Amino acid sequence: MLLTIDVGNSRIKAAVFEEDTLVELFIMGENDAVLIFSEIFIKYPKIKSAIFSSVGKLDAEVLDTLQKHVELQIINHTIKLPFTNNYTTPKTLGIDRMVLAAGATLKYPKKNRLVIDVGTCVTYDFIDQENNYLGGAISPGIALRYKSLNDYTQNLPLLELNSTETFIGNSTENSIHSGVINGLTYEIEGFISQYFHKYQDLTVILTGGDAEFLAKRLKSTIFANSNFLLESLRLLSTYINQND
């Protein structure tokens, strides 16, 4: 069994895999990570190895707990990847974006792939059918958009994600919801349209914490998988082991 771990900006996600099947998903904060990981190893004693990527900071005690129980593989910029990284500043490419690009390359071979990760930030990553990573874009995620409206204005309230279908906001709150949700939806549709215009054979993967919410609002044909980063870690682990 394999444990995959994604340390994000605001939370830690982990998944237990039995070969290519996701057995159980865990979401935790840093404060309860040691306890939850200890419980995972008790519940799944067959876990022999783990792989993790991090864009946030992982507490030393958490790392120590992992290394005591399993052989731990930490993703960094020195690992062998299944694509050619053509980013002009390859060492600044986020580890999460790197893992998602690897997962898309391995899961959808010989395709043009666009991975859209909707989390704290929205990232767009494109890998062509020759397995060249060309780059993408970064923009604020839903929570950041709500927060910025409150932080940089005098009178706009801080709101949380709302499933409103409002297009024309009939109040300040509804106007904010419409601007944030519809604005991001149109942004994503616009990016997809641009890529489709240039690359006809395009596979689009939507992932991240807000993937399921946004997938219902997108007209484009996409593969929505909120756990694609965890699955990408599994695919990358197999690839690394086979090419060691």
Q: Compute how many other C-beta atoms are within 10 angstroms of the C-beta atom of residue 97.
A: 23
Two tokens at 134? 């060309």
**How much is the average pLDDT of 75-94?**
93
Is 33 strand, coil or helix? helix
In contact, 22 and 227? CB cutoff 8 Å: yes
Report the top-level CATH class of 84-234: alpha beta
Instruction: Please check the confidence at residue 30 and state whether its pLDDT lies above 90.
Output: no
**How much is the average pLDDT of 4-24?**
92
> What is the per-residue pLDDT across 207-239, written as a single tens digit (0 to 9) for each?
998 999 999 899 887 899 999 999 999 999 999
**How much is the average pLDDT of 80-88?**
95
Topology agreement, domain 2-74 and domain 84-234: yes
From the candidates 6, 96, 117, 210, which is the catalytic residue?
A: 96
Name the DSSP class of 51. E
> What is the per-residue pLDDT across 121-154, written as a single tens digit (0 to 9) for each?
999 999 999 999 999 999 999 999 999 999 999 9
| Helix pair 183-198, 142-151: axis angle to 10 deg | 130
Full-model pTM: 0.93
By C-alpha distance, which of 18, 5, 124 is closest to 55?
A: 5
Instruction: Please check the confidence at residue 56 and state whether its pLDDT lies above 90.
Output: no
Q: Where are the beta strands (DSSP E) in 33-111?
A: 49-54, 71-74, 84-85
List the domain boundaries for the chain. 2-74, 84-234
Was domain 2-74 assigned CATH 1.20.1260.10? no
Q: What is the overall mean pLDDT for the chain? A: 93
Among this protein's residues, is 6 annotated catalytic?
Answer: no
